[in-house]
Chains A and B, each alone.
Chain A
Amino acid sequence: MNAASTLEPAVPETAAVENPAVGIDQSVGDFTYDVKYDFDAGTGLTENTVRYISAVKKEAPWILDFRLKALQTFLDKPMPTHWATGDLENIHFDKIRYYLAQGQKPKRTWEEVPDDIKRTFERLGIPEQERKFLAGVEAQFDSEAAYSNIKDIVAKQGVIFANSTEALREHPEIFRKFFGKVIPTGDNKFSALNSAVFSGGSFIYVPKGVKVAQPLQAYFRINAENFGQFERTLIIADEGSEVTYMEGCTAPKFSTSTLHSAVVELVALKGAKIQYITVQNWAPNVFNLVTKRGVAHEDAEIKWIDCNIGSRLTMKYPGVVLKGRRARGEVISIALANDGQHQDTGAKMIHAADETTSTIISKSISVGQGRATYRGQVHIPRRLKGCKNNTECDALLINTNSRTDTYPAITVRGDSHAVQHEASVSKVNEEQIFYMQQRGLTEGQAMSLAVNGFVNDLVRQFPMEYSVELKRLIDLEMEGSVG
């Protein structure tokens, strides 16, 4: 079934998805419905795969060129196992399907979304959230958005909210300038992979001075087995504008591994503010290898709120390049590593202008054999004046066999900067659990409460609807962690 051997969109074929997890409702995202895919790039990655994706999307020649160069970079780069976990070697690139879609054009109303896809998003509560508190929603199903809509009032302000294909085709004058500039193709092996086969994601432009009151949201859903999702997101906040973007994601639990490798670039022009919130709840078979970075110009602010609960292995270090004077960068990160999971997360703050400020607050929880790793990079060169960084890094261990590692790398040159780094490791002790049980809470409830308490000050920074969701996810994870 190697449809990649032809440049023509393949004969529609049914991808009957076997799902070993049907009927075991372990968590909210663990389900899958049979979906008929009209477009399938087949299994494995060759130049033909890339050409197929580009042809299906009817892309401009420069994009195909960009993709093909990226493919070469990907093939040339070694796996970064000299510093990262050897588990990366378990990704079998030749067994992954790189593009699966029903069509390329997302629907503007839920009524138009085909039933087999719509029921997935309904079950995840997306249409309901949209009605309640969102300015716009994009719902990506495997490789393409099945639904994308922005409220009229926001669209009238000139805000563009589209997927990568649509945005590069219809607004190249806005997006091409920044595309691949914040995160160059060769940044790392996985940013190169994404650049070769990217599909979907959100491209957003907020015009000068426009403050988008409600968040824009994207929901990324993996439905197919042996699949790789490679969305590409680029958000440009023009001078003095403000926008909040939230992304959520789930996938069913398959016995084989799934790959999710996104690239997210943010550009906050003079005085703009971007807040980017992620609640990642992938199934425990997903390799989640994501590159996220923003550039903050003069007086601009970029804030990443990054929450990782699911996946088998997550490697993600959201960063901010503080390019303009008085720019501010912030990363707030929560990671929960349960049995069999490795959350390798952190932050990068690259100071490149005077009086720039950065803050990193990271909290991780390791349960059972779960492993949480923090990697942080703060860079302040000698030529700058008056830069500040504050890093706070707390780990909570639930069991004696849980593991946490911290690798902070702080390079500060010059003598007019203020840098602060604090780290702590604590353990939920038996006395604490007994105390809570003595008040009537079960062991699982007690654990949940201790963990929720640990992350409470960070969760409060989330929009209400997400903090409730996060608390519920932690409860679910902890309930399952007690034997």
Chain B
Amino acid sequence: MSSLEIRDLHVAIHDKEIVKGLSLTIRSGEVHAIMGPNGTGKSTLSKAIAGHPDYTITQGDVLLDGKSILEQEPDERARAGIFLAFQYPSEIPGVSIANFLRAALQARLAEGEELDATTYYKRLYQKMDMLKIDRKFTSRSVNDGFSGGEKKRCEILQMAMLEPKFALMDETDSGLDIDALRIVSEGVNALRGPGLGVLMITHYQRLLNYIVPDYVHVMYDGRIVKSGDKTLALELERRGYDWVKQELAPAAPAPATVHA
């Protein structure tokens, strides 16, 4: 059983604070969804946890199995078991998916150890069958010229092969039509299990019809302002984010001065 603990996290980009004291603990086997309006700090949260160099953590901590990961390089965090499914995955021209995954797995082995090619391909094909991905797919260059749906499937395939402890899924549904959304969701559901904790970041409730979360959190202005079970997502869908904003308004401290 693993845990990913986010403790009073504050994150800034270029001196502007975006995440303003967020706390959340995810355990293996749990699926948490973070919902919230645009610009509220959802993507910032996932990139900061993964160690993106543009994001500065000004306060708080992130612990994997009780140990802080903030001093680790992005690749160390990745090898420790944190996977980020990108909203906009990068293209790597000339590097096939098969070779990329092979390099990523090789990087997890001790020095001098060599990944066994036969075992690797056997596993790769097994995962591709499970995710209903065509065999030809992995000979294409990573994300190069991919459609939105193909990019997301490529992310899910990588996740299946790298077997992280925790997956941070950043707007996995963005840019997908309904068929692609269904296929990608089936993939995530196939990977769900006692060994994997998931943090799903989404703007829309519709994703949660396919990937049903155990917990739903509403994020607003850099903090989690409401938590509940999956019914919270439905309520949000019905009442909109304005409902949360209004509910919060009386609780917010009155500003001393009015900014223009």
Contact = CB atoms under 8 A, between A and B. Distances in A.
Interface string A441-483: 1110110011011111100000000000000000000000000
A449 B50 contact: no
Interface string A424-455: 00000111101111111111011001101111
Given A434-B52, A441-B75, A450 B92 contact: yes
A435 B86 contact: yes
Interface string B75-94: 10011000110100111111
A443 B52 CA distance: 12
Interface in B30-83: 50-54, 73-75, 78-79, 83
Nearest to B168: A438
Contact of A440 (B52, B94, B95, B104): B104
Interface in B138-159: 141, 158
A452 B78 contact: no
B103 A449 contact: yes
Nearest to B84: A438
Nearest to A446: B75
Given A445-B103, A449-B95, A456-B95, A437 B78 contact: yes
B107 interface: yes
B182 interface: no
B93 A454 contact: yes
B236 interface: no
A429 B88 CA distance: 14
B95 to A, nearest CB: 4
B7 interface: no
Contacts of B79: 440
Interface residues of A, number: 24
B120 interface: no
A434 B53 contact: yes
Contacts of B180: none
Contacts of B192: none
B203 interface: no
A410 B158 CA distance: 46
- A interface SS class: helix
B94 A438 contact: no
Interface in B86-132: 86, 89-95, 100-101, 103-105, 107-108
Nearest to B73: A437
Q: Which of B50, B94, B95, B101 has the most chain A CB within a 10 Å cutoff?
A: B94
A443 B73 CA distance: 9
B244 interface: no
A456 B94 contact: yes
A435 B79 CA distance: 13
A439 B78 contact: yes
A452 B94 contact: yes
A452 B73 contact: no
Nearest to A426: B93
Contact of A452 (B84, B95, B162): B95
B75 A430 contact: no
B75 A442 contact: yes
Contact of B104 (A431, A439, A453, A456): A439
Given A435-B86, A440-B104, A442-B75, A457 B52 contact: no
A220 to B, nearest CB: 30
Interface string A61-89: 00000000000000000000000000000
A41 B44 CA distance: 68
B90 A431 contact: yes
A435 B90 contact: yes
Interface string A192-225: 0000000000000000000000000000000000
B94 A439 contact: no
A445 B108 CA distance: 12
A442 B107 contact: yes
Contacts of B74: 434, 437-438
Contact of B78 (A429, A440, A454): A440
Contacts of A445: 103, 107
Contacts of A430: 53-54
A438 B107 contact: no
Contact of B75 (A431, A432, A443): A443
Residue with the highest number of chain A CB atoms closer than 10 Å, among B52, B75, B103, B141: B75
B162 A439 contact: yes
Given A434-B53, A445-B103, A445-B107, A440 B75 contact: yes
A476 to B, nearest CB: 16
Contacts of A456: 94-95
A431 B55 CA distance: 13
A442 B78 CA distance: 10
B138 to A, nearest CB: 14
Contacts of B53: 430, 434
Nearest to A456: B94
Given A430-B53, A434-B52, A450-B92, A440 B107 contact: yes
Nearest to B88: A431
Contacts of B158: 439
B93 A453 contact: yes
Interface centre among A429, A436, A439 (most CB of B within 10 A): A439
Return the 4 tightest CB-CB contacts between A and B, nearest first.
Answer: A453-B94, A456-B94, A453-B95, A435-B90
Given A437-B75, A449-B103, 20 more contacts: A430-B54, A431-B90, A435-B89, A435-B90, A436-B90, A437-B73, A438-B51, A438-B83, A439-B101, A440-B75, A442-B73, A445-B107, A446-B75, A449-B100, A450-B92, A452-B94, A453-B93, A453-B141, A454-B94, A457-B94
26 contacts: A429-B90, A430-B53, A431-B90, A432-B90, A434-B52, A434-B74, A437-B51, A438-B78, A438-B83, A438-B86, A439-B78, A439-B104, A439-B107, A440-B78, A440-B79, A440-B105, A440-B108, A440-B162, A449-B103, A450-B92, A452-B94, A453-B92, A453-B94, A453-B141, A456-B95, A457-B94
Interface of A: 429-432, 434-443, 445-446, 449-450, 452-457
